[in-house]
Amino acid sequence: MDLSFDLLGNALVSGLLLGGFYAAVTIGVSISFGMLDIVNIAHPAFIILGSYTAYIANSVFGFDPILSSIVLLPAFYLLGMAIYHVYDVSFERRGDASIRGLAFFFGVLFITEVTLVLVFGVDYRLVDAPYVGPSLHFGVIDLPLRLLVPFLVSCALIGSLQLFMSYTFLGRAVQAVAQDPMALRLMGANPSKIKRIAFGLSIASCSVAGAILIIIQPVEPSIARDYIGRIFAICVMGGLGSFGGTIIAAVILGVMESLTSTFYGPSWSPAVAFGFLLITLAVRPSGLFGRT
């Protein structure tokens, strides 16, 4: 192993930026799984959907992928609400959430992937934007803009979600429903409605996450599966429902993957997330910051 310091330095910086991106990818699940206790394993599929919508906006209409993803936020939000409604009526109300809920989302994951293959084929897709390509240079450290811009967008996304959670009535209601649905009901708010909004937000975040994904790397339908392990590893490591924990865990994972990729080869990356997941589950299942 050639421990050259520029290589190490660059790996660390890329890892940091990548970690920021992973946090954006995971933040939606931190809401749906961490706060609402809904195991939406189809989340990565919606992210990929976000990538493809950004791709269409970019290749067909020439729009900037990030801006178009923001414009599409309401559409994804409505999609999230619709899916939650089906989930709620079919499973949650019948008190039968676990196996069938999991199977439902797995089916949705699968249907999304196969539909994307049917429509777009299995070729890799990219977007064209002024920040995909150039890098900033600080001495021996390269800061590729295609990593830096997503990192900044990710910070903005998480920041605005955190502000919403802490400072708006709806946001605080979401936190309340996570901790004590009965108390919320007694206060006159309808937990189902609050959960629907929260889930809608969770899917809305996929629009932006998908856009920055396709900036970082070329996308094809089956890469959703690589992200399931990462997302849940981050959620579990960071502690369910904790935004801060999610960010820290995401950065740790990003750095570990980057180091592995640089020194052992990129084909080992998917294994890193799983290794983390297993270790966390075995040693400290409540994660770094989670509630038990």
Partner 1 sequence: MRNAYFVLAALAVAVVTFAVARLIDNAYVFFAGYVVLQYVVLATAWNILGGFTGYVNFGTAAFFALGAYTTVVLHKTMPFLPLPAMMLIGGAISGLIGLGMGYLTLRLRGTFFSIATLAMAVVAQTLITNWNFVGGSRGAYIIRPSDSPIFSGDYIQYLFVVMLALSVISVSLARAIQFSRLGFGFSAIRDDEGAAEASGVPTLKLKLIATALSGGLMGMAGAPLPYYVTYLDPASGFSLSYAVNTIAMPLIGGTATWLGPVIGAILLGTLQQVATVTISSALSLLLVGVLLVTFVIAAPKGIVGWFKK
Tell me which residues touch partner 1 (CB under 8 A). 39, 41, 86, 90, 96, 98-100, 102-104, 106-108, 110-111, 113-115, 117-118, 222, 225-226, 228-229, 232-233, 236, 265, 267-271, 273-275, 277-278, 281-282, 285
Which residues, in sequence order, are bridge partners of residue 144?
135
| Contact predicate 260/269, CB 8 Å | yes
Distance in Å, CB of 98 to partner 1, minimum: 6
Distance in Å, CB of 204 to partner 1, minimum: 22
DSSP E strands, 96-146:
135-138, 141-144
Helix, strand, or coil (residue 137)? strand
DSSP E strands, 96-220:
135-138, 141-144
Cβ contacts of 215 within 8 Å, gap of 6 or more = 65, 66, 127, 129, 131, 132, 146, 149, 150
DSSP 131: T
- Looking at beta carbons only, is 87 or 151 nearer to partner 1? 87
| Contact predicate 121/180, CB 8 Å | no
Distance in Å, CB of 80 to partner 1, minimum: 17
Distance in Å, CB of 51 to partner 1, minimum: 18
- Looking at beta carbons only, is 187 or 274 nearer to partner 1? 274
- Looking at beta carbons only, is 21 or 104 nearer to partner 1? 104
Residue 19: half-sphere exposure toward Cβ, Cα within 13 Å: 24
Distance in Å, CB of 86 to partner 1, minimum: 7
- Looking at beta carbons only, is 107 or 159 nearer to partner 1? 107
- Looking at beta carbons only, is 215 or 249 nearer to partner 1? 249
